Chains A and B, each alone.
Chain A
């Protein structure tokens, strides 16, 4: 039974890379706006299905990828401008319900445009699976990890080395002080949503060749990404990345060693456990402070 462990670890890390990308989207929006954006998972769905569309139009993978990320980033920005901004002064729960509405509407839009059939998406590089340290890894799995690593590095550079990134961090620490320092908080909100859209699109585009793309894939992936973010404290990008990989490996191990029936329940057991640990103060790391 333990023979499978390298395989479970490898599969878990690949899935974990996806959860980490999605979780980062939650963290960027939450740390700046204190909003849990339920529509995050639908950005993933849009990313996957747009890849299908561009590939069907004959675009190569790199062009399709860039176009997909740009379009979904724009969707994220529009969501902020049209729906979130009018509710700036409303309570967190009102905005949560709003983003649930946005998620349902986007999923519905996906259904109207692409229908209910799952689409196969061409892998970024064709070829048979590779054997690495006793585990079989599909080539796309390496793409997932590689793209995730590049995205993490780019984000690190953006947040620590650029003016705009520093402004985003300033807003996350204290929006009022940031405004007094001349940072336009509205623009930072817009940027945060656009970035989270882009992150969701990247996750969707790289995962689609492994899982197929369907209009309803966003709900579960979004929830898992959220659990990854919560696991990492919901305001920490590094925490979300670690949380994503941890959740992916946990799920894969649970499915392999215990029972595959409850694989999807693992994430939610973790979610409740982390929420409870938060109240009882047993969490070894800092968790979000509620407004």
Chain B
């Protein structure tokens, strides 16, 4: 298929850029920012599958990011497991949790589903805060080792940059293939008209649950990579605010395209960095980070009103 070849070409070019970029960009700040773009993009990619193909909004996607980060973090930092095994288990934990939670709540639709996922996300947050024997509670978990292959440790920004972007491109390639496959056609049929798809013999509920599980796995993988990169995790970045931020990334980038999640994550991270650089003069009293939320809110409103298809254009969201 033409689109498959075009996508492969795009990914190869992107992979070459990723391989070469650390040498060309000596700034640790830029590389570290780009690592976060990749991790947020991966997390948002999971959500964009749910929004784009299951036609549903998850307001608790941050919980999967947290599950990935904590499973991988606890297994390596507290129990000394191999990082890759822990990361694989973290990814699986995301999928299993999504199946367990999604089994009942995906029988809901629209609003009720959004609300149930919101409840789920907040409950996970409270568990992280209160289950301090395992999670370290509000003060968090320290000493998460970087991933390593033999003696080669992913402990510099340049190395993690290649790892995170490599993972993102790999997942983009896999999900791209999925979208172009028979399953993907079924998903698009369901997104277009559930009744028509079911009439054609597609089991819509099972497909949607599958998408939710895949999304849970991808977001958890992002969380696991995040934990090994930052070495220290506590519950505060995984709250409801991050779930909303992921929705902002997907809406901003556009749900119609898988690259929309990357675009949206890059836009949000860039925006935050620009605000941090531009606002200190205005906001001497309490850090610029707090002011991001005004801009996020306005952007979300403006996009929903004027540009519902997002930056990447295409189909309207759910």
8 chain-A/chain-B pairs, Cβ below 8 angstroms:
A87-B305, A93-B57, A93-B317, A101-B296, A108-B295, A111-B293, A116-B290, A271-B116
A104 to B300, Cβ gap below 8 A? yes
Q: How long is the Cα–Cα vector from A39 to B41 in the complex, in angstroms? A: 27
Q: Provide the bound-state CA to CA distance between A115 and B240, in Å.
A: 21
Contact A102 B105 (CB under 8 A): no
Write out the residue numbers on chain A whose beta carbons fall within 8 Å of the beta carbon of B240: 219
Does B7 belong to the interface (CB within 8 Å)? Answer: no
Which residue of chain B is the closest to A264 with respect to CB atoms? B126
The answer to whether B116 touches A272, judged by C-beta atoms less than 8 angstroms apart, is yes
Q: Is A158 an interface residue (CB 8 A)?
A: no
CB atoms of B318 and A268 under 8 A apart: no
Majority DSSP secondary structure for residues of B touching A:
helix
Q: Is there an interface contact between B304 and A87, defined as CB atoms closer than 8 Å? A: yes
**Do the beta carbons of B300 and A101 come within 8 Å of each other?**
yes
- Chain A hits for B122, CB < 8 A: 223, 264-265, 268
Contact of A268 among B123, B293, B294, B299 (CB under 8 A): B123
B263 interface hit (Cβ, 8 Å): no
Closest 7 CB pairs of A and B: A108-B294, A101-B300, A105-B297, A104-B297, A268-B119, A101-B301, A271-B119
Which B residues have a C-beta under 8 Å from some C-beta of A? 55-57, 104-105, 107-116, 118-120, 122-123, 126-127, 129-130, 240, 244, 247, 251, 285-286, 290-291, 293-301, 304-305, 308, 316-318
Q: Nearest Cβ in chain B — how far from A235, in angstroms?
A: 12
A279 interface residue (CB < 8 Å to B): yes
Asked if B300 contacts A86 (CB within 8 A), the reply is no
- A115 x B286 contact (CB < 8 A): yes
A107 touches B112 (CB 8 A): no
B residues near A109, Cβ cutoff 8 Å: 294
Q: Is the CB of A276 within 8 A of B104?
A: yes
CB atoms of A265 and B116 under 8 A apart: no
Q: Using an 8 Å CB-CB cutoff, how does the interface string of A151-189 with B read, 1 for contact, 0 for none?
A: 000000000000000000000000000000000000000
Considering the complex, give the chain A residue whose CB is closest to the CB of B301: A101
Is A112 within 8 A of B294, CB to CB?
Answer: yes
The complex places the Cα of A264 from the Cα of B244 at a distance, in Å, of 19
Nearest-Cβ distance from residue A4 to partner chain B, whole angstroms: 21
Binary interface profile of A, 216-259, with partner B (CB < 8 Å = 1, else 0)? 00010001001000100000000000000000000000000000
Interface membership of chain A positions 71-93, coded 1 if the CB is closer than 8 angstroms to chain B and 0 otherwise: 00000000000010011001111
Known: A265-B127, A269-B119; 12 extra A-B contacts, CB below 8 A, are A87-B305, A90-B308, A91-B318, A94-B304, A101-B298, A102-B301, A103-B297, A104-B244, A108-B295, A115-B285, A279-B104, A290-B111
CB–CB A101/B114 < 8 A: no
In the bound complex, do residue B119 and residue A98 qualify as a contact, i.e. CB atoms below 8 Å apart?
Answer: no
Residues of A within 8 A of B120 (CB): 268, 272
Chain A residues near B129: list those with CB within 8 A: 261
B130 CB contacts on chain A under 8 angstroms: 261-262
Which of A93, A112, A115 has the largest number of chain B CB atoms within 10 A? A93
Q: Is the CB of A94 within 8 A of B285?
A: no
Task: Let me know if A98 and B285 touch, CB within 8 A.
Answer: no
Expressed in whole angstroms, the Cα–Cα distance for A146 and B290 within the complex equals 36
List the count of A-B residue pairs having beta carbons below 8 Å apart: 139
Residues B123 and A94 in contact, CB atoms below 8 Å apart: no
Residue numbers of A with Cβ under 8 A of B are 36, 83, 86-87, 90-98, 100-109, 111-112, 115-116, 219, 223, 226, 230, 261-262, 264-265, 268-269, 271-272, 275-276, 278-279, 288, 290-291
- A101 and B108 contact, CB distance less than 8 A: no
Contact partner, A265, options B126, B295, B304, Cβ 8 Å:
B126
Residues in chain B near residue A268, CB distance under 8 A: 118-120, 122-123
Contact (Cβ within 8 A) A97 B57: yes
Once A112-B294, A275-B105 are accepted as A-B contacts, the answer to whether A101 and B318 lie under 8 Å apart by CB is no
State in angstroms the CA–CA spacing of A290 and B114 once bound together.
Answer: 13
Query: In the complex, what distance in Å separates the CA atom of A112 from the CA atom of B293?
Result: 10
Among A101, A107, A278, A279: residue with most chain B CB under 10 A: A101
B241 to chain A, nearest CB (A): 9
Residues of B within 8 Å of A106, CB to CB, are: 297
Chain B min CB distance to A22 (Å):
15
Given A98-B305, A111-B293, A111-B294 in contact, is the A275-B108 Cβ separation under 8 Å? Answer: yes
Q: A87-B305, A101-B300 are in contact. Are A96 and B111 (CB under 8 A)?
A: yes
Chain B residues with CB under 8 A of A108: 291, 293-297
Q: Is the CB of A93 within 8 A of B110?
A: yes
Q: Are A101 and B110 in contact (CB under 8 A)?
A: no
Q: Which of B110, B111, B290, B317 has the most CB of A within 10 A?
A: B111
| A183 nearest CB across to chain B (Å) | 25
* A100 in contact with B247 (CB, 8 Å): yes
Q: Chain A residues near B105 (CB, 8 Å)?
A: 272, 275-276
